[in-house]
Structure 1
Amino acid sequence: MQIQMRYDARAVLSEQMTRTQGLKLKQLSEEAYQPAQYARDLSFAEAARRIQALEAEIELANSF
């Protein structure tokens, strides 16, 4: 018996952020002095976007 599951990208992108993402986003937002970037009700995709942006900003700031 073989079970086939379809991958629905829209469903994954609209899911709530994971606990790991929440912790990472909170840490990065505090490190970047931008606490407003953290919110509990973000989607998975929005959290990933904010994490990536904050990491890039912190990396740029550390390069000076």
Structure 2
Amino acid sequence: MQIQGKAKFDARVFLTEQMTRTQGLKLKRLSDEAYQPTQYDRHLSFAEAARRIQVLEAEIELANSF
């Protein structure tokens, strides 16, 4: 039995799909907060934006722990 409406995952689409507006706003805010404006680029893929957001959040958390 197959569930209808469930999209099949395609890694190529995931890696090339443009970041969402929400990701862009969050990445811009985090890059400003971390004093790393070069981390923001409006032409990033969804996956690269997610990776940069994760890295910046970890860096900010580390800096706030001191």
TM-score by length of 1: 0.88
- 2:26 — aligned with what? 24
Q: Does 1:57 align with 2:59?
A: yes
Q: CA deviation at 1:4?
A: 7.3
Give the residue type in structure 1 aligned to 2:15.
L
Q: What is the distance in 2 between the residues matched to 1:55 and 1:41?
A: 20
CA–CA distance in 2 between the matches of 1:48 and 1:18? Answer: 10
Tell me the matched-pair count: 63
Q: Equivalent of 1:9, from 8, 11, 15?
A: 11
Deviation at 1:7, TM superposition (A): 2.2
RMSD, aligned CA: 1.6
Extract structure 1 runs of 4+ deviating beyond 6 A: none
**How far has the Cα of 1:10 moved from its partner?**
1.7
In the TM superposition, what whole-angstrom CA distance separates every residue of 1:23-46 from its partner, at most 9, and x where no partner exists? 000000000000010001000010
> Among the aligned pairs, what percent are the same residue?
78
